Amino acid sequence: MSQTASLLDTLKRQLRAQGKTYADVAAWLSLSEASVKRMFAERHVTLARLECLCDHLNLAFVELVQAMETEERRLQELTDAQEQSIADDHELFLVAVCVINGYSFDDIHRQYQLSESECTRQLLKLERLHLIELLPGNRIKRRVAPNFRWRPGGPIQRYFQAHIANEFFRSRFDSESDKLLVLNGLLSRAGNAEWQQAIQRLAKEFHELCERESVLPIEQRFGTTSVLAVRQWQHGLFRHYARKQ
């Protein structure tokens, strides 16, 4: 990711932290809100505009750069061995998913049948994995980046495919909070690549939405899982009837 893109991502988080919107930015820069959205989407901004936004946020430009560097040092993914240690321990897996999603110590203890000592023991394991920093009073400081992900094809993803996928899809997806779309069509390699980029942008929007709502009480939020996938594939039935080339 370019430094400009990283700076803009950091700036967006600073805007959200201060309760500012694209409408505020538009007013500060004398632009339309559509132009502001395009500026952030295209990751193109002048230094003068960055300095203007920093001024309105009472943030020195150097502080914005320092915030960006701090965020870039946060974990984006674990090693294969670290993921395996989590996948092998169900309690640790549960607590890891909770803290990545912003649960506090009390939230975990209240929602799950883990004693305070069990919670503390699992949190200390996560601290040794550098996922969190456990502060006095059992306060949890996450050390993962906003775009943290499990390794593609790694132990957690394999665990999901082996143990969770069937349970996940054992649903009619007909409730208000559910949605299932199965899309099928013909794409060139270039079209496939463009679609994958669109999925990546959607994933980024999901992470940003989770971060934006992280200020809400845990009681107002519920676990939401989306499976975004694309592959060159056809059902085995079609392959069975296909003519041999």
Instruction: Give the CATH number, domain containing residue 58.
Output: 1.10.260.40
For residue 59, how many other CB atoms are within 10 A of its CB? Answer: 15
Strand partners, 139: 135
Residues 201, 225, single domain; the answer is: yes
- Cα distances (Å, whole numbers) of residue 128 to 89, 112, 125, 132, 147: 15, 22, 5, 8, 21
Whole-number Å distance between alpha carbons of 118 and 95: 10
Residue 192, judged by CB atoms within 10 A of its CB (0-12, 13-18, 19+), counts as: middle
What residues contact 105, with CB distance under 8 A and at least 6 apart?
119, 123, 138, 139, 140
If one counts the domains in the chain, the total is 3
Amino acid present at 190: A
> Which of the listed residues 72, 94, 112 is the one where a domain comes to its end?
72
Model pLDDT for residues 22-72, shown as the tens digit of each residue: 999 999 999 999 999 988 888 888 889 989 999 999 989 888 888 877 766
Tokens of 31: 């632009």
Residue range 70-75: average pLDDT? Answer: 68
Whole-number Å distance between alpha carbons of 243 and 245: 6
Q: What is the CA radius of gyration of the chain?
A: 21
227 assigned to some structural domain: yes
> Which of the listed residues 72, 97, 116 is the one where a domain comes to its end?
72
Tokens of 213: 């709502």
Residues 185, 224, single domain; the answer is: yes
Tokens of 235: 């059902």
Whole-number Å distance between alpha carbons of 155 and 96: 14
Strand partners, 133: 141
Answer yes or no: are the C-beta atoms of 125 and 99 closer than 8 Å.
Answer: no
Which of 69-83, 128-142, 229-243 has the largest mean confidence? 128-142
Using the structure block, give the residue that is written with the tokens 């519920």: 222
Residues 18, 61, single domain; the answer is: yes
Strand partners, 142: 132
Global pTM value = 0.62
What residues contact 206, with CB distance under 8 A and at least 6 apart?
226
120 assigned to some structural domain: yes
The domain in which residue 121 lies consists of 75-169
Looking at the predicted structure, is the pLDDT value of residue 243 above 70? no
Model pLDDT for residues 115-134, shown as the tens digit of each residue: 999 999 999 999 998 889 89
